[in-house]
Amino acid sequence: RDTIQAASSFAIRNQLPIRLQEQMLAHLCLKYRTHSEGLQQQETLESLPKAIHSSITHYLFYALVDKVYLFRGVSTDLIFQL
């Protein structure tokens, strides 16, 4: 939470465009979500077949990745492959 607040303050202080603010915050949220669960999440996902692993990852992170400016206009299939 402190990191998000610091990033928001940084963006406002430096008058970053909204799209850059969104990208920065989306990255930090994704980083938090993946790191907060630690190795247990990674070990669990790695023990699953690739198709199930991909489906779970897509479910957890697609909405977040879809908001990133860099991926606007990119096909869903390509994002799913990432």
The SS3 call for residue 72 is: coil
pTM of the predicted protein model: 0.44
Contact 22, 1 (CB under 8 A): no
How does pLDDT run across 14-30, given as a tens digit for each residue? 999 998 988 988 888 88
From the list 6, 5, 38, 8, the residue with the least C-alpha distance to 23 is 8
Dihedral over alpha carbons 2, 38, 58, 52 (to 10 degrees)? -170
How does pLDDT run across 55-80, given as a tens digit for each residue? 888 888 888 888 888 888 888 888 77
67: DSSP letter: T
